[in-house]
Amino acid sequence: MGFYDFLNDLPHYVEHGSSAARMNARHEFLIADFAEEIRGAKVLDLGAHDGRWCYGFAGAGAASVVGIEGRPELVEKFSDYPDASLRAKVELRVDDIFEGIRAEIARGETYDIVGVFGILYHIMDHFALFQLLRDLKPKLVIVDSEFVMRDNAIVLLIQERTDVHLNAVAQYPGQEVAVKGAPSFKAMEMIANALNYDIEWSDWGRIAEGNRGPVGDYYRPKNQQKRRATCALRLRDR
């Protein structure tokens, strides 16, 4: 039994037959690996989608979870999640992630943990994002993203339509195409170092080759442009 087995029973996941298997595999690396730090923590989840990772943080024992998501139609689906006691720990807000972070800073809010899952390749201002997060004083920032497989520190610019599910959110009324930037592994490491974070990459090699199907994007060969990966950022002691 996996934490997200129930997803295959939710109406908006039924059409995606591998959703539970994929989410269960990712849960091990994005949530379970950090369970000790999550327990009792105040958590912020950026680009929260329908609240699935907020729910995961709550299930791992977080004291409270705030999720920021730009699409109200996704936030509305959170009520489908089965455990009311876990939903009660979660507050989902419809907002731009940058504006939402700035509002939290203005209110003097701080967080123990920040989740940055699946959004780095939908934005342009990567350095600004992590710089803002420092003002929330998290002990841990968990990042899961696609990264460009280049040997140097670059951000690859890509266009994508805003009317496609899970793509970038329109930044002004009527915007049809957004420009996003996908950082390389080296770029992520450079950003972390410049902001005084230690960075540790998760070892996705722990999953046996025969069980990697639902999470194949974490194992793309080097001749492809991008590979998904997970890392943890922790501020260095000064």
The amino acid present at 195, given as its one-letter code, is L
Q: Hey, where are the domains in the chain?
A: 5-146+185-235
In contact, 125 and 160? CB cutoff 8 Å: no
pLDDT of residue 225: 93
Q: Which pLDDT belongs to residue 17?
A: 56
Q: What is the distance between the alpha carbons of residues 55 and 31, in angstroms, rounded to a whole number? A: 11
210 in Cβ contact with 217 (< 8 Å): no
CA 186 remoteness from chain centre = 19
Is residue 155 a contact partner of residue 56, using CB atoms and an 8 Å limit? no
Per-position pLDDT tens, the chain of length 238: 899 999 989 988 876 555 899 999 999 999 999 999 999 999 999 999 999 999 999 999 999 999 999 999 999 999 999 999 999 999 999 999 999 999 999 999 999 999 999 999 989 899 999 999 999 999 999 999 999 999 999 999 888 787 776 666 667 788 787 778 999 999 999 999 999 999 999 999 999 999 999 999 999 998 999 999 999 999 997 6
Please, what is the end-to-end C-alpha distance for the chain in angstroms? 43
Supply the DSSP symbol for 170: P
Determine the Cα angle at 123 with ends 120 and 126, to 5°.
65
Q: What pTM was computed for the model?
A: 0.93
At the fourth CATH level, the homologous superfamily of domain 5-146+185-235 is Vaccinia Virus protein VP39 (3.40.50.150)
Cβ atoms < 10 Å from Cβ of 13: 20
Q: What is the pLDDT of residue 19?
A: 84
Q: Which pLDDT tens digit goes with each residue over 166-223?
A: 666 667 788 787 778 999 999 999 999 999 999 999 999 999 999 999 999 999 998 9
CA angle 169, 9, 34 (to 5 degrees): 65
pLDDT at 166: 63
Q: Which residues of 204-228 are buried (b: 16+ CB within 10 A; e: fewer)?
A: beebeeeeeebbeebeeeeeeebbb
Q: What angle do CA 51, 183, 136 make, to 5 degrees?
A: 50
Residue 27 confidence (pLDDT) = 98
According to the model, what pLDDT value does residue 167 have?
Answer: 64
